[in-house]
Structure 1
Amino acid sequence: MRVVLTCLPFRSHLVPLLAPCAHALRRAGHRVAVACAAGMADVVAECGLEHLPLPRVRTLDALLRDPAVSGSPGMPEHAEATGSDRTTVEARRAPGPLTRTFAGPLAGVLADDLIGAAARWRPDLVVRECNEFGGYLAAERLGLPHAVLDIAPHSALNLPFVRGAVDEQRVRLGLDPVDDVRHSYRTLVAGVVPQEWYPPELRTARTYRPVPVAGADRLPAEFADLPGDRPLVLAGFGTLAPVLIPELAAVQGLLVEALGRVRCTAVVALGSDPREWRGPRPGNVRLVERTPQRALLHRADLFVSHGGFGGVFESLLAGTPVVALPLFSDQPDNARRTAELGLGAEVDLGTTSPAALARVCAEVLGDRAVRDRVERMSRSLRAAPDLDALAADLVAHAR
Structure 2
Amino acid sequence: MRVVLTCLPFYSHLAPVVLPVARALRRAGHRVAVATAPGMAPELARAGIEHLALPNVLTLAQLLERPEVLTSPGMPGDPEGSARAASARAEAGPLTAAFAGPLAGVFARDLIEACESWQPDLIVRECNEFGGHLAAGRLGVRQAVLDIAPGSASTLPSVRDALNGQRAELGLDEVDDPWYPNRSFVAGFVPPEWYGGDAPPCYRLDEPSGVLDVSLLGLPDDRPLVLAGLGSVAATVVPESQDLLELMITALGRLPCSGVVALGSDPRHWPGSRPEDVRLLEFTPQRLLLESAELFVSHGGFGGVAEAVRTGTPMVVLPLFSDQPGNADRVCALGLGRRLEPGGLDADLLTETCREVLGDNVYRHRASAISRSALACPGLDALAADLALSRTEQLRG
Q: TM-score, normalised by structure 2?
A: 0.94
- Deviation, 1:334, is 0.7
Question: Residues 354-392 of structure 1: CA distance to partner in whole angstroms, max 9, x if unpaired?
Answer: 101111101111111111111111111111111111011
Identity %: 58
- Deviation, 1:158, is 4.3
Q: Does 1:358 find its partner at 2:357? A: no
Q: Does 1:376 find its partner at 2:369? A: yes
5 Å matches for 1:28-177?
Answer: 28-75=28-75, 92-94=88-90, 95-155=92-152, 158-177=155-174
- Deviation, 1:336, is 1.3
The DSSP-based 3-state class of the residue aligned with 2:313 is coil
Q: Distance in 2 between matches of 1:133 and 1:93?
A: 19
Name which of structure 1's ranges 190-199 and 149-158 shifts more when overlaid on structure 2. 149-158
Question: Residues 2-49 of structure 1: CA distance to partner in whole angstroms, max 9, x if unpaired?
Answer: 000001011111111111111111111110110111221111111110
- RMSD over equivalenced CA pairs, Å: 1.8
5 Å matches for 1:1-399?
Answer: 1-75=1-75, 92-94=88-90, 95-155=92-152, 158-200=155-197, 203-215=198-210, 218-399=211-392
The DSSP-based 3-state class of the residue aligned with 1:155 is coil
The DSSP-based 3-state class of the residue aligned with 2:58 is coil
- Deviation, 1:243, is 1.7
Q: Counterpart in 1 of 2:395?
A: none
Q: Distance in 1 between matches of 2:174 and 2:10?
A: 29
How many equivalent residue pairs?
387
- Deviation, 1:56, is 1.0
Question: Residues 264-302 of structure 1: CA distance to partner in whole angstroms, max 9, x if unpaired?
Answer: 111111111222222122222122222111111101100
Query: 2:76 touches 2:342 (CA, 8 Å); kept in 1?
Result: no
The DSSP-based 3-state class of the residue aligned with 1:184 is helix
The DSSP-based 3-state class of the residue aligned with 2:172 is coil
Which runs of 5 or more residues in structure 2 are unaligned? 393-397
Which runs of 5 or more residues in structure 1 are unaligned? 80-86
Query: 2:247 touches 2:346 (CA, 8 Å); kept in 1?
Result: yes
Query: 2:77 touches 2:342 (CA, 8 Å); kept in 1?
Result: no
Q: CA 1:287 to 1:155, structure 2 compared with 1: closer, same or farther past 3 Å?
A: same
- Deviation, 1:171, is 1.1
Query: 2:209 touches 2:288 (CA, 8 Å); kept in 1?
Result: no
- Deviation, 1:204, is 4.0
Question: Residues 57-90 of structure 1: CA distance to partner in whole angstroms, max 9, x if unpaired?
Answer: 11112101001101222258967xxxxxxx9x96
Q: CA 1:324 to 1:76, structure 2 compared with 1: closer, same or farther past 3 Å?
A: closer
Query: 1:321 touches 1:364 (CA, 8 Å); kept in 2?
Result: yes
Name which of structure 1's ranges 283-292 and 304-313 shifts more when overlaid on structure 2. 283-292
Question: Residues 175-211 of structure 1: CA distance to partner in whole angstroms, max 9, x if unpaired?
Answer: 11112111111111001111111133xx342100112
Q: Which amino acid aligns with 1:144?
A: V
Q: Distance in 1 between matches of 2:21 and 2:70?
A: 31
